[in-house]
Amino acid sequence: MFLKYYTLQIYFIFILLPLLFTCNESAFAPGKIEKTNIIYETSFESENDFAGWKSIDTSCWRIDVHPLCGTKSIIISGGCLMPTASYILYSPGYTCSVTVSCYGKEISGGGTLNLDIGQNIFYGLQLHIQDTVWKKYETADTLIWPADTSLWLTLNAGGIAGAQMLIDSIKVLKVK
């Protein structure tokens, strides 16, 4: 009888109690939670960060950066052709809602960062880069990304007149 009574307590102490403390606490850290929601992120710090981008490369690097964004940004210059630069994000295989953010700075005339479904430019999320000092831009709205489509991330400067802007630390985040 003595053994049956204490067997249950011993089982709890040596088997169940350690399981309660084996959870990885770092999984609950704020940075880890955000990291799991990142669909796409680039800060243009290395040549690999340009992989998949159309119309920009390392010749766009600038050392004018926001203090939180590494050592390089990119300059986007444009005139008549839109978009100035583009990147396709392929479907994750399920429908989700996303937002977009970046750091930006107007040099002359500013520009936009767009996140659109397919190549339907200007019908999704848009950030207007218009401050002459570095600023974090982020959308308040979300975009519903259907499972069977891609997203088109575009950087646009100019239009009728030439314009320039600096961009850094682009993030597309899944919203829960």
Q: What is the pLDDT of residues 143-174, one digit of tens each?
A: 999 999 999 999 999 878 889 999 999 999 99
Residue 7 lies in a domain: no
* End-to-end CA, the chain: 52
Tens digits of residue pLDDT in 46-82: 999 999 999 999 999 999 999 999 999 999 998 776 7
Question: Which residue range(s) make up the domain with 88?
Answer: 34-175
CATH number at residue 133: 2.60.120.260
CA angle 142, 128, 167 (to 5 degrees): 100
**Token pair in block for residue 118:** 């397919």
Residue 138 lies in a domain: yes
- Contact assessment for residue 127 and residue 102, using Cβ atoms and an 8 Å cutoff: yes
Residue 115 lies in a domain: yes
User: Number of folded domains in the chain?
Assistant: 1
Residue 67 lies in a domain: yes
- pTM for the whole thing? 0.78
Residue 153 lies in a domain: yes
Residue 155 lies in a domain: yes
